[in-house]
């Protein structure tokens, strides 16, 4: 496979135009991680938040030994909540089991809901059953999107004993919560899950009903 010219990308990352720098980052898509990460690091402290955000995301999909400690440092110390949220998300993409503890700390200690949301999503991506307690706590968040993320993540980690806790959302007014519930139940094979899904296929929102139907098929109950 022919890779893009790394020297050309490196030069473009020095451009005064933030658009050029973002395009250069996009060109790293087909560059091997070992060659891409040193270039990504050039713009991790860029004056443009958009460029920084894109660079942080790129570290999550170009894993090298350097990426994990850089992302943890950003998650724990960056003053911008958006960058901290990006770092939490990127740690989920890395799927490095060491990220469990930094993500749990971020959920409990960060004051911004977007960071807690990203941490919950990434805890699901790690598929680490130890995340169950923090995700159950996330169900009580005042932010609906954090609740959505927690329901989805409990499904991802196959927390079968959390079915009762998430079934209270079956009557939620938010259809996205009901959709996340239907999707999660499809990964939690219990009689209560199947019973709830048979109820949810009649949901007034077609997306929720379709999600429930797919989950029943997954559980062999179509």
Nearest to 112, CA basis, from 153, 148, 142, 149: 142
pTM over 0.75: yes
What topology is assigned to 162-222 in CATH?
Answer: 1.25.10
Give the C-alpha distances (Å, rounded to integers) separating 217 from 30, 73, 95, 178, 193.
37, 42, 28, 18, 12
The predicted-structure confidence for 160-187, as pLDDT tens digits, reads as follows 999 999 999 999 999 999 999 999 999 9
pLDDT tens, residue order, the chain (222 aa): 556 788 999 999 999 999 999 999 999 998 999 999 999 999 999 999 999 999 999 999 999 999 999 999 999 999 999 999 999 999 999 989 999 999 999 999 999 999 999 999 999 999 999 999 999 999 999 999 999 999 999 999 999 999 999 999 999 999 999 999 999 999 999 999 999 999 999 999 999 999 999 999 999 875
Residues sharing a CB contact under 8 Å with residue 38, sequence separation 6 or more, in sequence order: none
């Amino acid at each position: 496979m022919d890779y893009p010219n790394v020297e050309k990308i490196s030069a473009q990352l020095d451009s005064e135009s933030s658009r050029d720098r973002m395009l250069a980052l996009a060109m790293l898509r087909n560059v091997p991680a070992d060659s891409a990460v040193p270039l990504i690091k050039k713009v991790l402290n860029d004056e443009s938040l958009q460029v920084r955000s894109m660079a942080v995301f790129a570290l999550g999909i170009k894993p090298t030994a350097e990426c994990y400690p850089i992302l943890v440092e950003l998650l724990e110390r960056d003053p911008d909540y958006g960058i901290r949220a990006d770092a939490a998300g990127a740690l989920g993409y890395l799927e490095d089991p060491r990220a469990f503890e930094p993500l749990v700390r971020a959920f409990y200690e960060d004051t911004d809901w977007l960071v807690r949301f990203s941490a919950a999503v990434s805890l699901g991506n790690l598929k680490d059953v130890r995340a169950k307690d923090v995700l159950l706590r996330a169900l009580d968040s005042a932010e609906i999107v954090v609740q959505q993320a927690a329901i989805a993540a409990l499904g991802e980690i196959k927390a079968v004993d959390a079915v009762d806790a998430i079934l209270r959302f079956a009557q939620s007014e938010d259809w996205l919560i009901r959709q996340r519930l239907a999707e999660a139940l499809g990964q939690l094979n219990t009689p209560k899950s199947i019973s709830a899904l048979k109820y949810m296929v009649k949901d007034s929102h077609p997306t929720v009903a379709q999600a429930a139907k797919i989950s029943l098929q997954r559980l062999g109950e179509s």
